[in-house]
Structure 1
Amino acid sequence: MPPEPSPESVAPVKAPQEEPVQRAVPTAVQVEPGDELIKLRPEVKAEKTAAPAREGFRGWLNTTFKANLAASPAEQASRERRVRIQRPLETHCTMAVVQLKGGATKTTVAYHLAATYGRIRGGNILAGEFNENQGTLGERALAGSHDRTTLDLIRNLGTVTRRTSDLVRYIRPQGDDRIHVLASPPEGADRRRVDGTSVKAAHDVLLSLYNLILLDTGNSAQASTWQAAVDVADSLVFVAQNKADDFRLLEATIEGVKAQGHAAKFSRSILVITNTAQPNTERLAQLKEYGESIGLAAVVVVPFDRSLQEGQNFDYEALNPATRRAYEEATAALTDQL
């Protein structure tokens, strides 16, 4: 069993208590018989943390010799993360992944948070792009049987009801990750219809169909699409690589969110820092300290992982164990705030 990440890789932060945000309960979804593309699976039953060991040598002894050995500390920690991820929620929720720098791992983080939810929590999970520019989510995720995008969905919102069959033609199922992807339109497409108003209208429909939505955003705080994503989000996921320019633009992102009047969301938001192949220890400490200083709920560090190099297709099975643990902790920390 791989060792648990060191305590410094996860830095929970206590934030001031806020009044809970009251959300309208989404309109009930009409699921049609036999529609397996949208109804992926029900939410899984909560993990039992006190159960005997099922993994590693202890798990083998329990299975082979009918022993009753307790779970190892590593397996126990994994179960506790899963319990947090599987915590019941009162309503459907949306999280926006934000950072004004391009190539700062927004798409990677959005996809893998969604995939972690899909694999551990279950239910209907969406990773979607509503960018002012072409994103890479559709390129790095599994291809669909079509090339329709958010632009096509927006153009046809008048014909999309809260029936699951109406959405099948726009989303792309992601196999064992048990999520759906909704990709942004390619460069050269007529983007005049993709604005803040249309993003909110599309989100209203999607929120009735999906338990959890992870929004991958663009790189301009002045874009109405970016502002709409931040506005509809229950929580924000700030991201940064362990790089000097990422740090500078993370600060600019924070200021952009404040300028929109959403500083109150910091206490239920997290920062995900992705390390580089040769991480700067001093800068990493500064990024953590910065996340704490603005009152974020948690700061999680994702280790460098060659399988996530820029441009490669996403493959959850190829992730290093430490990377999976980091995404589980980030997903758990995010769920804690919902």
Structure 2
Amino acid sequence: MVAEAGDPRLQLRRETTTETPESPARHGWRGWCNQTLGLSLAASAAERASRARRVRIQRPLETHRTVAVLQLKGGGGKTTTAYHLAATAGRVRGGNILAGEFNENQGTLAERSLAGGHDRTTLDLIRNLDTVTRRTADLVRYVRPQGDDRIHVLASPPEGTDRTRVDGRSVRAAHETLRSLYSLILLDTGNSAQSSTWRAAVDVADSLVLVAHNREDDARLLEATVAAVAAEGHGGKLARSVLVVSNTATNNTERLTRLREYAEAVGLAGTVVIPFDKSLQEGRAFHYDALHPATVRAYEEATATLIDQL
């Protein structure tokens, strides 16, 4: 069945709120008083800050945008970050948003996101790109809708699959098709700056998200990632890029300060720290509603900071 523009399988739009930071309170005891007693109490500072973040996230984009999520390490938090930035955008702004794996390694996106009723992957899409046009719904055979997160996932093939066709050229070709169907794409990249898929992802990206845990080895890898981006001739993109630091249970504040200072020194647009959250530990299935409220606020700030650059 052919799907035209507006088909709900591809169009995940939602009505955006007309609420402003100055609107009366809707949450907490002030919101209760307003709704129950017909009052018009002002929103709390926390509610106003939340609204301001959401307004930033909902800012219209003039055209399609692609973001590559980078760190030169497996298990470094790229998949978690890519998914939750996409999910935050999906929940707050709606629209056509994709979190996709395009790399040389087996990823965990398929395992940690909702199943899609099929096991087709990035490789299947690449093999059948000639059947996917800008006006058909053929893409729904490859992506996996993520329920209330209002995004699609495109996962990499499992280990043991012939990956010879997942290379830089195929990534560019797939991206060219996908960018015509999605307003925002977050690319979960691989672990090697020497890989043609990594280079292609950085090349097609309009902005970058650099990922690090609050660990010493991740701090060193951050420097290597920045150097690799510059070596590929994309140093100019760093000014439109964001550092997302996932905090650990030990919370080394001195290291966090160093990470922030380094990001500022190399010209990144901003740094956002995601609090330690047990629901985000490596290997667990993604469940946005299980996130601690502080984690949700941090992802909203990270997403808002990213949208500010697009």
Please give the alpha-carbon distance, in whole angstroms, between the structure 1 residues aligned to 2:152 and 2:41: 39
**1:247-303 Cα deviation digits (max 9, x unpaired):** 111111111100000000011100000000112121111111111110000000000
- 1:122 counterpart residue number: 94
Matched, 1:268 2:255: no
Q: What are the residue-to-residue correspondences of 1:1-338 with 2, within 5 Å?
A: 31-32=3-4, 35-42=7-14, 44-338=16-310
- Shift in CA distance, 46/134, structure 1 to aligned 2, threshold 3 Å: farther
* Alpha carbons of structure 1 residues 34 and 110: separation in structure 2 relative to 1, 3 Å: closer
| CA displacement, residues 134-181 of structure 1 (integer Å, 9 cap, x when unaligned) | 011111000111000000000001111112411000000000000000
Give the percent of matched residue pairs that are identical in Structure 1 and Structure 2.
Answer: 72
Aligned residues: 309
Structure 2: how far apart are the matches of 1:334 and 1:33? 27
| Residue 41 (structure 1) shift | 2.0
Q: TM-score, normalised by structure 2?
A: 0.97
User: Does the CA contact (< 8 Å) of 2:5 and 2:11 recur in 1?
Assistant: no
Deviations 1:7-48 (A, max 9, x none): xxxxxxxxxxxxxxxxxxxxxxx8438842212224624542
Q: How many Å apart are 1:83 and its aligned residue?
A: 0.4
- Given residue 308 of structure 1, which amino acid in structure 2 is its aligned partner? L
Bigger shift: 226-235 or 41-50? 41-50
> Segments of 4+ in structure 1 off by > 4 A?
none
CA distance in 2, matches of 1:44, 1:145: 30
Once the 2 structures are TM-superposed, how far is the Cα of residue 78 of structure 1 from its aligned partner?
0.2
CA distance in 1, matches of 2:291, 2:77: 15
**Structure 1 length as normaliser, TM-score?**
0.89
Task: Work out whether residues 5 and 135 of structure 2, in 8 Å CA contact, stay in contact via their aligned partners in 1.
Answer: no
Retained in 2: the 8 A contact 1:154–1:202?
yes
| SS of alignment partner, residue 141 of structure 2 | coil
Question: Distance in 2 between the 1:281 and 1:55 partners?
Answer: 32
CA contact (8 A) 1:126 1:214 kept: yes
Q: Provide the rounded CA distance (Å) in 2 between the counterparts of 1:159 and 1:81.
A: 39
Give the match's secondary structure for 1:209: coil
Work out the CA distance in 2 between the residues paired with 1:120 and 1:45. Answer: 9
Map of 1:10 onto structure 2: none
RMSD between superposed Cα atoms in Å:
1.3
Distance 2:152 2:105 in 1: 21
What is the SS of the residue equivalent to 2:68? strand
**Matching residue's letter, 2:191:** N
> Residue type matched to 1:136 in 2?
T
**1:53/1:71 contact within 8 Å kept:** yes
Unmatched 5+ residue regions in structure 1? Answer: 1-29
**Partner Cα separation in structure 2 for residue 47 and residue 53 of structure 1:** 10
